[in-house]
Amino acid sequence: MPKKPAVQLRPDQRRRLLQFVKSGQRKAREIVYAYILLRSADGWSEAEIARAFDVSPRTVRRIQFRYRQGGLNAALHEQPRSGQPAKLTLRQETLLVALACSQPPSGRQRWTVRLLTEQALKRKIVKRIVPETVRRVLKKIESSPGGSRVGALRKSRASFSPD
């Protein structure tokens, strides 16, 4: 007797999944999840699906479980991950960048990351900070204090050119 498929899809859900994978406008991971659901509904085993899509059998089980628990959207889209909270608020970052764009202290030609860290603590912009955090904040910023466009702007991916 044939084995019952791990996932039962209605015809409208199958059409939605097929459209989902053919659109080309989705994350690669979500497309793989859609294919896992489609093949699960076709009666493929966990091992066959895992081999076909180069994922672990645990991933196949997890996607099938998420579908049974929360439906199609829950299976296709992962919940946001908490991650580590931001070290600085937007206001603190702004003040730090403004400090970096200002004149360095007397006797110095330019700001260093360590000097900015010391001044941020001294001016009570932040309670605690390490030079690496300052470096990361400044790395996010496109800054040219000596150039024709004085000041700082957030880097934009739209203006990035690989050439």
pLDDT on residue 102: 92
Q: Which stretches of 85-159 are DSSP H helices?
A: 90-101, 113-122, 131-139
The angle that helices 46-53 and 28-41 make with each other, rounded to 10 degrees, is 150
Position of tokens 């959207």?
73
pLDDT on residue 6: 84
pLDDT on residue 136: 92
pLDDT on residue 152: 57
Q: Give yes or no for a contact between 36 and 53, defined as CB atoms under 8 angstroms apart.
A: yes
Burial class (CB in 10 A: 0-12, 13-18, 19+), 131: middle
- Taking the C-alpha atoms of residue 139 and residue 6, their distance in angstroms, rounded to an integer, is 48
Q: What is the pLDDT along the chain (163 residues), one digit of tens a residue?
A: 556 788 899 999 999 999 999 987 889 999 999 999 999 999 999 999 999 999 999 999 999 999 999 999 999 998 888 888 888 999 999 999 999 999 999 999 999 999 999 999 999 999 999 999 999 999 988 755 544 454 555 555 544 444 4
pLDDT on residue 24: 78
Q: Where are the domains of the chain?
A: 11-76, 90-155
